């Protein structure tokens, strides 16, 4: 093509441009430098040949002027984008946006456009070059510049495509622009007559989900459907992922059904999001079912799918289930990675099963999988908690040999191990080593751990020295820090200082937990200051912190020591109404405050725990009764047997049932019927027959013969449901024992 230059060009420049193209066409080198004018002519002569245009591309960055002349670069951007040579066009666009201001770029693009064939309307009205410039600015989050290009392009007659608007929109979300700015751009899109497409809506839905404004995201989902823009798998995946991460996996599953009804096939991302949602909610059984359904939908699980399922089993403490999944993935040809095994190792270390954890490490090494910082930290933490500090240090040494730098989290785990054993000098040396030799700044957990250790050994002065050090270094104490110091002060009977520290904690805006309150309450009780103890007790309730059984134990002990046993007993039975029960607590103090006249109330306490499904607590009270003179009667046994059977622990219920019979006590019909149902569900047929025969033998002989015969017949026929119905009717008619 013969170029149309806006300025008269010499015959020599035309000739040189043609000679350069001829050399390039025959793959011969071009050694002489090109002027901007010569390069412009060469580009025009080369158009529309893609190969010759590409051969000129390196010369664009070798122009002698500094900064380089903009004219040939603008022309080249037009030509490259028009010939769909996107990669070099995008490289040139990024060069332009980083070397020239917007005010120069747009006029140059407009001028260079006049050199190109006027018959091609695609050049004159909607040049791809403008889209590329906007994309370059947006990808580097230069949003004001992108918006300027958009505005200037429209003012000189260019019409940027929806791609430009979408790229700016995406960048605005990534840069956390305000909703008002985003909606302003949307209104401009609508005003310009450009209809949003599925990509526009996906950007909006993903952006508002990421910012936590799910209602607005759903609003755009409904809008796109009303506008006739069909959501695609990306749209659904975005919403499903948000539901799963926000703890609404059931809604995510509902959306999956909606998606299938509209003919949109879920992909691997869909299933991985749902697997993660189920596992986050500790519904690993449902996750496993979904995992198995993937094969039916011809979706092949990847390492992320397997890792999610492995982690789900680990959260449930089901290491065996996790290992089964790992074996399955290797059998399917999916290679596990360090994440796969670290989940299992971490679970085993937390459970104190270090030998099995090391077996898994051995399996990793056999398969050529390197341990990472998280794996090493899990092992160090596990050994440290067990007091196996030599082994923990060996792991730390191996970690360094593998050139993996230990993090503050790793050091904290090791420091905690030394603190547990009371080796405070060694713990402090590790803190100094991590700070001076490794360049790691101790964090609030580091300081809280070590000052808590000093408090435990009674060295409160050293604990406060570390407290002042952390504050001086700009490490803000947290609730654990203050609680440790308060506990240390209470242990050495410095109650006034403890109260002062408590007030300082509240002044810092930190919320004391039940342990902090209980520590101070205990301190006041030991000093005989029961009024102050109860004031704190009422304060914690006002602040929305429910006292637990430990708190009540402390208060009851304090009342007993002051010979206020009547108040102690009254306080004990407030537990009947409490919902917040801790996992580990002994009931010695509670039982000590009860005499035989309170036996019925103790049974009520057991019943309360059983009704709430807190069977560990019910067992603790029951065991405390047996260890004292308060021997459980028929009512106590019946209540706890009923509770265990209702909660699914049938074997425990059966054990208590047998123990009750050996003690010469008669189980009630209701508790026995619950036991029968449980045994049937578990398939324990031999035990089931024995319990039914025992129940029928204990019935009233005169009026129960017909019912007994009916029950026997159904039992022999294996019709257990009919047996249970008969026994229930017998109980209603008073033909079975009613004890308890």
Residue-averaged pLDDT of the chain? 82
Q: Is residue 732 predicted with pLDDT exceeding 60?
A: no
Over residues 483-492, the pLDDT tens digits come to 889 888 888 8
- Encoded tokens for 481: 């820090």
* Residue environment code for 491-519, b if the CB has 16+ CB neighbours within 10 A, otherwise e: beebbebbbebbeebeeeebebebbbbbb
Over residues 64-83, the pLDDT tens digits come to 666 668 888 988 998 888 88
pLDDT at 292: 92
User: What is the C-alpha separation between 279 and 446, in angstroms, rounded?
Assistant: 31
pLDDT at 122: 46
pLDDT at 599: 55
pLDDT at 600: 56
**Average of per-residue pLDDT across 194-212:** 91
What is the 3 state secondary structure string of 16-58? Answer: HHHHHHHHHHCCCCCCCCCCHHHHHHHHHHHCCCHHHHHHHHH
Range of lowest pLDDT (141-155, 442-456, 460-474, 550-564):
550-564
DSSP 426-445: HHHHHHHHHHHTS-PPP-HH
The domain spans of the chain are 1-114+124-160, 653-740
- Give long-range contacts, CB 8 A cutoff, 24+ apart: 40-43: 40/3, 40/5, 40/71, 40/72, 40/75, 40/115, 41/3, 41/5, 41/9, 41/13, 41/14, 41/17, 42/17, 43/72, 43/75, 43/76, 43/79
Over residues 585-600, the pLDDT tens digits come to 444 544 444 444 345 5
User: What is the C-alpha separation between 641 and 622, in angstroms, rounded?
Assistant: 11
| Verdict on whether the full-model pTM lies above 0.85 | no
Q: Is residue 613 predicted with pLDDT exceeding 80?
A: no
Nearest alpha carbon to residue 72 among 87, 62, 82:
62
Distances (CA, A) of 383 to 268, 352, 365, 420, 568: 38, 8, 20, 12, 43
């Amino acid at each position: 093509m013969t170029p149309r230059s806006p300025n008269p060009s010499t015959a020599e420049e035309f000739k040189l441009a043609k000679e350069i193209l001829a050399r390039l066409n025959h793959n011969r080198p071009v050694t002489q430098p090109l002027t901007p004018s010569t390069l412009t002519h060469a580009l025009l002569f080369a158009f529309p040949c893609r190969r010759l245009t590409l051969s000129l591309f390196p010369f664009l960055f070798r122009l002698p002027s500094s900064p380089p002349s903009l004219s040939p670069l603008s022309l080249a951007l037009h030509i490259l984008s028009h010939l769909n040579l996107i990669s070099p066009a995008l490289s040139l666009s990024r060069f332009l946006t980083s070397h020239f201001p917007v005010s120069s770029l747009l006029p140059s693009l407009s001028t260079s456009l006049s050199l190109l064939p006027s018959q091609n309307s695609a050049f004159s009205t909607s040049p791809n070059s403008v889209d590329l410039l906007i994309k370059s600015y947006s990808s580097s989050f230069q949003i004001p510049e992108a918006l300027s290009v958009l505005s200037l392009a429209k003012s000189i007659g260019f019409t940027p495509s929806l791609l430009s608007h979408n790229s700016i929109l995406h960048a605005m979300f990534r840069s956390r622009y305000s909703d008002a700015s985003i909606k302003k751009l949307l209104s401009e899109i609508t005003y310009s007559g450009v209809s949003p497409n599925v990509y526009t809506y996906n950007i909006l839905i993903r952006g508002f989900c990421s910012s936590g404004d799910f209602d607005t995201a759903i609003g755009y989902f409904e809008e796109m459907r009303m506008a006739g823009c069909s959501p695609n798998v990306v749209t659904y995946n975005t919403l499903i992922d948000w539901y799963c991460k926000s703890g609404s996996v059931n809604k995510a599953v509902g959306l999956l059904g909606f998606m299938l009804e509209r003919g949109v096939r879920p992909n691997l991302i869909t299933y991985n999001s749902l697997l993660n949602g189920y596992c986050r909610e500790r519904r690993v059984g449902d996750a496993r079912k979904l995992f198995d359904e993937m094969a039916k939908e011809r979706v092949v699980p990847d390492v992320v799918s397997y890792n999610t399922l492995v982690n789900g089993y680990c959260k449930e403490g089901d290491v065996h289930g996790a290992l089964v999944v790992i074996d399955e993935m290797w059998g399917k040809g999916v290679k596990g990675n360090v994440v796969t095994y670290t989940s299992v190792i971490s679970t085993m270390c937390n459970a104190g099963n270090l030998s099995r954890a090391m077996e898994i490490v051995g399996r990793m090494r056999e398969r050529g999988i390197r341990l990472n910082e998280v794996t090493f930290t899990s092992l160090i933490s596990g050994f440290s908690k067990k007091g196996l500090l030599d082994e923990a240090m060996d792991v730390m040494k191996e970690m360094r040999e593998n050139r993996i730098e230990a993090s503050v989290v790793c050091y904290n785990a090791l420091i905690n191990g030394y603190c547990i054993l009371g080796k405070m000098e060694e713990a402090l040396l590790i803190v100094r080593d991590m700070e001076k030799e490794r360049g790691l700044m101790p964090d609030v957990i580091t300081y809280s751990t070590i000052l808590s250790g000093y408090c435990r050994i009674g060295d409160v002065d050293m604990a406060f020295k570390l407290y002042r050090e952390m504050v001086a270094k700009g490490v803000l104490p947290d609730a654990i820090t203050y609680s440790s110091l308060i506990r240390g002060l209470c242990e050495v009977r410095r109650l006034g200082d403890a109260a002062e520290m408590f007030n300082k904690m509240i002044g810092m805006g930190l919320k004391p937990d039940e342990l902090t309150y209980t520590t101070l309450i205990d301190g006041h009780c030991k000093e005989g200051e029961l009024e102050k103890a109860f004031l704190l007790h009422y304060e914690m309730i006002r602040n929305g912190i429910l006292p637990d059984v430990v708190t009540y134990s402390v208060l009851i002990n304090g009342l007993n020591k002051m010979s206020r046993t009547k108040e102690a007993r009254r306080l004990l039975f407030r537990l009947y109404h409490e919902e917040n029960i801790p996992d580990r607590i002994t009931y010695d103090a509670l039982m000590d405050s009860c005499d035989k006249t309170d036996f019925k109330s103790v049974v009520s306490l057991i019943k309360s725990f059983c009704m709430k499904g807190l069977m560990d607590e019910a067992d603790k009270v029951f065991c405390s009764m047996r260890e004292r003179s308060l021997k459980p009667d028929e009512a106590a046994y019946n209540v706890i047997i009923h509770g265990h059977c209702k909660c699914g622990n049938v074997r425990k219920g059966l054990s208590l049932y047998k123990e009750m019979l050996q003690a010469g006590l008669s189980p009630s019909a209701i508790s026995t019927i619950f036991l029968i149902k449980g045994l049937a569900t578990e398939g324990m047929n031999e035990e089931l027959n024995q319990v039914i025969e025992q129940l029928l033998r204990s019935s009233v002989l005169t009026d129960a013969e017909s019912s007994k015969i009916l029950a026997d017949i159904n039992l022999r026929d294996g019709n257990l449901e009919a047996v249970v119905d008969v026994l229930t009717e017998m109980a209603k008619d008073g033909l079975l024992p009613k004890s308890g």
